[in-house]
């Protein structure tokens, strides 16, 4: 299961759910518009990996009731404190993700749905949020240390829900159909604000200082994510092979230089000025061709091999629970698989585009997962800032005729990237998906999944 959405600014987010399988093979093909003239000379493969891509992995579960079951057990002193914290963090984390995604999706689809349908969607969102917070607050742990952790989570979820609902109110159409749900959302936000004051979650200074409150909640979000975020260690592969390539290149060049010196010595005889000049020329050629030969050998040796390995460790037990091999290559048009090329469509434009292939092979030991969890959620972020620097400045002029008058409008210059994923299923078949990512110099405008 793969989803792509716009995130913040010039960032798009890819989410992959690693389900109950030990091995997962996924390939991504990023098609960069030809008008940007993007190539390996502008950003090398290693620079692309470190500057454009970043990722995190967390525990995930489809059993939404599980953390609440753990909460009840903890309230009866039947669950260790570390498991309770992880369960509560997972519950809060999944709720926060769902709430943010749902409200973002509502904004994106608001113009495409009828008012009655939009109001129904808002009612469903409100009811679900109220029910989730009610369930969370039904079981409060008795242990003092767990109460402190619970208060931090409850405080953050209350504040986040209020903020997302206030954003819904701010962008809500000003029509009579939305008035009842608007009043309902306002009442809910007021009750949550009063609830936090009643529980004495935040100091009076934090309540009156927006910057201080936002920073405090940002830290609370990190506290929630910490117990469910799987630790990962990046290992660069091929370092010994790189040394071998350097050694082989130096050895081959020295063989050539040695043979040339012996030939010159027999031809020129005594050591003269011409012999010294010839020696200088040979050593100059050695320095020139040594690096080129090393690069050729290195590309040959590294071709088709994984370039990075990630080692995954459970944040609670410290056990190694899996690993992931990663490839990243710039590939020509004729090396693109036929099924991916067919999904991309647009043959003329496709031939002008630069293509970056990213491949990941993940192996997880689900038996070593935290008790009760059998999935992980991996999030990759694509930063389009390196591409935005290649985009031309300025705006396009658009002229239109309206009621006999000519109107002029400034239009942002936008570029469309295409992202195609190819995921191998358990039965050996492949699932291929495609998204259009529209970007200008300042932000990701839109992410649209294209169905064949």
The two beta strands, 23-32 and 415-424, are antiparallel
**35 and 106 belong to one structural domain:** yes
% the chain with pLDDT above 70: 78
pLDDT digits (tens, 9 = 90+) for 114-133: 878 888 888 888 888 888 88
Q: What is the pTM of this model?
A: 0.79
**85 and 175 belong to one structural domain:** yes
Domain end among 302, 328, 346: 302
**63 and 131 belong to one structural domain:** yes
Q: How many residues belong to the chain? A: 452
d(CA 42, CA 389): 11
The distance between the two most distant Cα atoms of the chain, rounded to a whole number of Å, is: 103
**361 and 250 belong to one structural domain:** no
Q: What per-residue confidence (pLDDT) applies to 371?
A: 64
Q: What range defines the domain where residue 424 resides?
A: 2-234+306-450
**42 and 71 belong to one structural domain:** yes
Domain end among 249, 283, 302: 302
For the chain, give the mean pLDDT. 82
| Lowest-pLDDT choice from 23-27, 32-36, 69-73, 76-80 | 69-73
The most confident of 52-56, 261-265, 291-295, 389-393, by mean pLDDT: 52-56
**171 and 261 belong to one structural domain:** no
**65 and 108 belong to one structural domain:** yes
**125 and 248 belong to one structural domain:** no
d(CA 429, CA 425): 5
Tell me the C-alpha to C-alpha distance, in Å, between residue 133 and each of 26, 244, 282.
Answer: 36, 59, 77
pLDDT digits (tens, 9 = 90+) for 61-93: 765 545 554 555 455 455 566 777 877 888 888
**247 and 114 belong to one structural domain:** no
**358 and 280 belong to one structural domain:** no
> What's the number of domains the chain is made of?
2
Domain end among 279, 302, 325: 302
**273 and 407 belong to one structural domain:** no
DSSP string of 65-116, one letter each residue: THHHHHHHHHHTT-S-HHHHHHHHHHHHHHHHHHHHHHHHHHHHHGGGS-HH
- 3-class secondary structure, 443: coil
**273 and 325 belong to one structural domain:** no
pLDDT digits (tens, 9 = 90+) for 257-284: 677 666 666 666 665 666 666 666 666 6
pLDDT digits (tens, 9 = 90+) for 43-54: 988 899 999 999
Which is higher by pLDDT, 140 or 262?
Answer: 140
């Amino acid at each position: 299961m793969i989803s792509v959405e716009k995130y913040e600014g010039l960032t798009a987010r890819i989410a992959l759910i690693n389900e109950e399988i030990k091995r997962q093979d996924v390939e991504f093909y990023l098609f960069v518009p030809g008008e940007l003239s993007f190539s390996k000379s502008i950003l090398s493969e290693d620079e692309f990996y470190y500057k454009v891509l970043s990722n995190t992995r967390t525990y995930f579960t489809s059993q939404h009731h599980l953390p609440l079951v753990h909460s009840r057990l903890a309230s009866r002193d039947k669950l260790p404190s570390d498991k309770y914290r992880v369960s509560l963090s997972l519950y809060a984390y999944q709720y926060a993700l769902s709430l943010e995604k749902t409200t973002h999706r509502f904004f994106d689809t608001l113009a495409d749905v009828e008012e009655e349908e939009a109001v129904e969607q808002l009612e469903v969102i409100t009811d679900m949020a109220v029910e989730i917070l009610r369930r969370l607050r039904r079981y409060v742990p008795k242990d003092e240390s767990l109460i402190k952790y619970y208060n931090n989570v409850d405080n953050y979820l209350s504040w986040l829900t209020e903020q997302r609902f206030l954003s819904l109110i701010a962008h809500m159409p000003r029509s009579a159909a939305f008035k009842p749900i608007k009043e309902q959302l306002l009442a809910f936000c007021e009750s949550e604000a009063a609830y936090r004051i009643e529980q004495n979650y935040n100091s009076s200074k934090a309540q009156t200082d927006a910057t201080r409150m936002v920073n405090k909640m940002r830290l609370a979000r990190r506290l929630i994510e910490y117990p469910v975020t799987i630790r990962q260690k990046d290992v660069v592969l091929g370092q010994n092979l790189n040394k071998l390539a350097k050694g082989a290149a130096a050895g081959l060049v020295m063989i050539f230089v040695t043979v040339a010196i012996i030939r010159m010595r027999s031809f020129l005889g005594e050591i003269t000025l011409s012999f010294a000049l010839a020696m200088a020329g040979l050593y100059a050629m050695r320095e020139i061709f040594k690096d080129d030969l090393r690069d050729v050998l290195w590309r040959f040796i590294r071709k088709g091999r994984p370039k990075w390995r990630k080692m995954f460790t459970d944040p609670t037990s410290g056990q190694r629970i899996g690993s992931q091999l990663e490839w990243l290559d710039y590939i020509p048009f004729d090396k693109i698989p036929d099924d991916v090329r067919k999904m991309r469509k647009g043959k003329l434009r496709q031939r002008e585009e630069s293509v970056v292939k990213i491949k990941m092979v993940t192996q997880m030991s689900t038996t070593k997962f935290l008790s009760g969890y059998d999935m992980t959620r991996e999030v990759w972020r694509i930063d389009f800032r390196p591409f935005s620097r290649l985009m031309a400045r300025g705006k396009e002029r658009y002229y239109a005729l309206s009621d006999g008058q000519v109107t002029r409008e400034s239009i942002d210059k936008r570029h469309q990237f295409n992202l195609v994923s190819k995921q191998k299923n358990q039965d050996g078949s492949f699932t291929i998906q495609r998204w259009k990512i529209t970007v200008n110099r300042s932000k990701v405008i839109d992410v649209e999944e294209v169905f064949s």
